[in-house]
Structure 1
Amino acid sequence: MPKIPDNTVTHPDPGRWKALVFIALAQLMVVLDATIVNIALPSAQQDLGISDGNRQWVITAYALAFGGLLLFGGRIADLWGRKRTFVVGLIGFALASALGGAATGEAMMLGARALQGAFGALLAPAALSLLAVTFTDAKERAKAFGIYGAIAGGGGAVGLILGGFLTEYLNWRWTFFVNIPFAIVAAVGAYLVIREPAGGRNRSPLDIPGVILSTLGLVALVYGFTRAESEGWSDTGTIGLFVGSAVLLLAFVLTEAKVKSPLLPLRVLTDRNRGGVYLSLGLAVIAMFGLFLFLTYYLQVVKGYSPVMTGFAFLPMIAGMIIGSTQIGTRLMTRVPPRLLMAPGFLTAGVGMLLLTQLEVGTSYAGLILPAQLLLGLGMGTAFMPAMSLATLGVDPRDAGVASAMVNTSQQVGGAIGTALLNTIAASATTAYLTDHAAGATTPAGQKLLQLQGMVEGYTAAIWWAVGILVVSAAIAFTLINTGKPDMGVVAGSGADAEDEVKVPVIAH
């Protein structure tokens, strides 16, 4: 029987719109999980006795496993079949969520989060590639991916609010348990409805050395940033981790240059424009992820917001991202070169971040935090939209999937590094502030105020770094990315697939 190419079907699947429902439901679950845990983190930290130095690992363990294994997950979907990988990813994600909700200590929680990330890395590439092969008509594809993207964008806001309600009125554990019904419904529906086109699997051997080297290298890198917080930047172990990471990642690059079927073909990275996108996006996400953590703690611990109020307080940023992506970015990206949207977008986000360096214990939400979030969201949404499109410009059809996965990977790893690095900077600044001002706090009330002031001092010190990172992102986008306006005449093939595939992560965090 002749093979049917991966991006074509002989007859449109009559159940394709039902399939979209279950694929989008799975994406909603993943997006919910990215934001819902942020709101629940302070309560979970207190109940499980997680130290301040390790709290970011609840976020980092998920992000690192997800980002480190995305390329592997996409490759598994090619080898094993997208539908099967999708269903297994859903079932595994549900089991990992149940483990997280039942966690009795720090180790169990961190293990559950890492498992969630690993199964998410199976789920995400399979879901996106299923959409790509299910909707082959250009107009239907645009509509399907538009619906998918809208659900993903709205999911971020739903996660923040739902996380608040569950944490406040039930228990933080329900922010994990809520994934289980989503996963079961999506898995059963996908098994019954989704019809994957025959053929099109990639039968080349799996690059096991590449998987091992890339994953270990990234783990060593992030753990190095985390260890620096407790042991110091000059600690022998910290330096050893950074050196080990550099050696492992260099070995990964050398391996990919030599093996016949690399996990990540280097030709994907060496294009000037794609390289500029990966680098500028990765840096921008470093800035954003640390901010999510700091704002959650600032609003709940310093301002005394309830989890529900904290969830609603994040809505301006999510709204700004949706508007920037779907209105400004989408409308302008066919009219101006990508760098003229990306660089100003990153700078606009940088202005929003700059406002947050003025945070104090008594800062007004409406006067400072709300407009800062709007600017951040608008800027990032505007910059990310053309970046997602450009990330696969001119890519070889056989590399379209890995180019898409590389965008996801750069964002997830950037988020993991950002959370660890900025948390380290904040903790160091807080400790220095408390040491310098300890003599002035002689009463219990004065000591409590000093603690809060120290926390805010740490946050603003880290946010200054985030401002600088966004300025560097803008400079990279402006100087490295030199392509002109995109040619909208061609909609078919891998470029369209990959472009559509990578729109989703814009709102996922």
Structure 2
Amino acid sequence: MVASSPKERAGALAVLCAMSLMIVLDSTIVAVAVPDIQRDLGFSDAGVAWVVNGYLVAFAGLLLLAGRLGDLVGAWRVFLAGLGVFTVASLLCGFAPTAGALIAGRFLQGAGGALAAAVVLGMIVRLYPEPAGQARAMGIYSFTQAGGAAAGFVLGGVLTDAVGWPVIFLINAPIGLAVWVTGRRLLPRETGPGLRQGLDLPGALLITAGLSLAVYAIISAAPLAAAAAVLLLAGFVLRQHRARRPLIELRVLSRPWLLIANAAVVLVFATGMGFQFLNALFVQRVMGYDALGTGLAFLPTPIVIGLISLFVAPRLTGRFGPRPVLIGGLTVLLAGLLLLHRMPVAPSYWADMFPPLVIMGLGVGVTIPSIIMLAMAGAAPADTGMVSGFSNTAQQAGGALGLAVLAAVAAARTAGQDSAAGLHAGYTLAFLVAAGFVLAALLIVVLALRRRPERVPAAVARAEPCPA
């Protein structure tokens, strides 16, 4: 994908970031509104997690299929199709009359988000192949996500308190329509070999079903569901070995760097999504804030993330490289989570919560751009869509599984307790487990990602045989 001028590249990047803004805006608005949704639609304490995880599971399960589809028919077509589905699904969520209808709409939203997001990283990499330009573009991409998070927290609180939670989904409709019209005009239109090359639909079904059962098994503590999830995910790997046109070719998965880097991605995003969901509940149920107060309480983290990812992270990455920057970011993020774990039963916002939120913003602001760059390192031009889809799958699967684990930890610790002290014990324990996720990611980066791989030429990548 090549844009003919810097102005055209900037316009295309703006469209891609606008869709990412919609996805993050939706995520943060929903996080703030979860207690109201649970009350109005009658969700159980465990079932309400599906308002978030229904979206994440569909998103993660379809990303590889969407990435392959982008390689075959053109990333811009898949991006616009996903944006259209996401916008329509948002309307369905906004008018959902029951809990089941809302979850169905969230699954459809996740499918649309997967189609669009699966090709975004690959499109950015092809728009800005040079390291300095790519670092700046990734910083802008992260800043957009942080801006969406900041706006989402405030908008979520304002809209939920003033109008009601349905409008948090309906707001996506005008934004989605404007971005779709603009993207149709500005996005470079690369071509692909066409659908005759084949799509692995059974593989997509296997990974989606496997992730769904894995999340269900964690939330419900169901051993049989866990065993079935393992079998389905193993079936997915076997299918990729035997499929004529797999979603992810095993020669790509055979690269140790790709697997190790994305293991760290899973842990980082497991931390982020679980923290966002649980901290919203902590602020409302332990500290007694309403929806607007919760949104305002969250603001320091996305604001700091935005400033760091836009102005600091690109310079640090350009000077020192992504790995040292990532190590520093993970260390800072770990410190923030440990401070949250140590909050007292009756915390003061400014003394006990504000400092760790700022520290976490500093850590995430440099962690996300650098870990995405490392996850995409070494991808051949012919494989950027596939590797982008795999990296996005790791992000969303990590978010879904991390949320399920941390929610289960908190629920188990607070079972049968409604007091602030009991809820505090469950949430702070979950923050400690999240810190364990970050520590594991840090060890992976320090011990296993020492030497950045060389980029594989396209011809070599295509000729390399799949391992038995």
Please give the TM-score of this superposition, normalised by the length of structure 1: 0.82
- The verdict on how the C-alpha distance between 1:24 and 1:279 changes in structure 2, with shifts beyond 3 A counting, is closer
Assess, with a 3 A threshold, how the Cα gap between structure 1 residues 88 and 354 changes in structure 2: closer, same or farther: same
For residue 264 of structure 2, what is the amino acid of its counterpart?
A: S
> Matches of 2:359 and 2:202 in 1, distance apart?
43
Structure 1 residues 45-84: aligned runs within 5 Å? 45-84=38-77
The aligned counterpart of 1:346 is: 330
Number of aligned positions between the proteins: 458
* Contact 2:90 2:173 (C-alpha < 8 Å) held by counterparts: yes
State the secondary structure of the residue aligned to 1:431.
coil
Cα separation, 2, equivalents of 1:206 and 1:416 = 25
| 1:85 and 2:78 aligned | yes
The counterpart of 2:387, out of the listed 403, 412, 435, is: 403
In 2, the alpha carbon distance for the partners of 1:136 and 1:305 equals 46
Is the 2:143–2:307 contact (alpha carbons within 8 Å) kept by the matching residues of 1? no
Gaps of 5+ in 1: 1-6, 229-237, 435-449, 495-509
Task: Please state if 1:167 is matched with 2:160.
Answer: yes
Distance 1:195 1:390, change over 3 A: closer
| Cα distance change on mapping 1:463 and 1:69 into 2, 3 Å | same
Match of 1:116 in 2: 109
Contact preservation (8 Å) 1:286, 1:418: yes
Report if aligned partners of 1:337, 1:483 keep a CA contact under 8 Å in 2: no
Q: Is the 8 A contact 1:13 1:134 kept in 2?
A: no
Q: More deviation in 40-49 or 200-209?
A: 200-209
For residues 114 and 354 of structure 1, the distance between their equivalents in structure 2, rounded to whole angstroms, comes to 33
The alpha-carbon deviation at position 271 of structure 1 amounts to: 2.6
Q: Which residue of 2 aligns with 1:428?
A: 412
Tell me the alpha carbon deviations over residues 101-149 of structure 1, each in whole angstroms, 9 at most, x when there is no partner.
Answer: 1111110111111110011111123445555666779887776665444
Q: Is the 8 A contact 2:135 2:314 kept in 1?
A: no
RMSD (Å), alpha carbons: 2.8
Aligned equivalent of 2:189, options 176, 186, 196: 196
Aligned with 1:212 (options 197, 205, 211)? 205
Q: Contact 1:133–1:197 (CA<8 Å) still a contact in 2? A: no
Q: Does 1:241 align with 2:236?
A: no
- 2:43 partner letter: I
- Following superposition of structure 1 onto structure 2, how do residues 364-379 of structure 1 map, counting pairs within 5 Å? 364-379=348-363
Pick closer, same or farther for the CA change 1:343–1:270 going to 2, 3 Å.
farther
Note closer, same or farther for the CA distance 1:139–1:332 as it changes in structure 2 (3 Å cut): closer
Does residue 480 of structure 1 match 2:448? Answer: yes
- Residues of 2 paired with 1:313 and 1:388: CA distance? 28
- Aligned twin of 1:151: 144
Q: Percent of counterpart pairs with the same letter? A: 34
Q: CA deviation at 1:416?
A: 0.5
Per-residue Cα deviation, 1:193-246 (whole angstroms, up to 9, x for no partner)? 445135565752112232122222111111111111xxxxxxxxx111111111
CA contact (8 A) 1:165 1:308 kept: yes
1:40 corresponds to:
33
SS of match in other structure, 1:55: helix
CA contact (8 A) 2:72 2:193 kept: no
* Residue 289 of structure 1: how far off its partner (Å): 1.6
Matched-pair contact (CA < 8 Å) for 2:328–2:363:
yes
1:394-416 superposed Cα distances (whole Å, 9 cap, x missing partner): 22222222212222111111110
Q: Partner letter of residue 482 of structure 1?
A: R
Report the counterpart of residue 503 of structure 1 in structure 2. Answer: none
1:54 Cα deviation from its structure 2 partner: 0.8
- Specify whether residues 469 and 68 from structure 1 end up closer, same or farther in structure 2 by C-alpha distance, changes over 3 A only: same
TM superposition score normalised by structure 2: 0.89
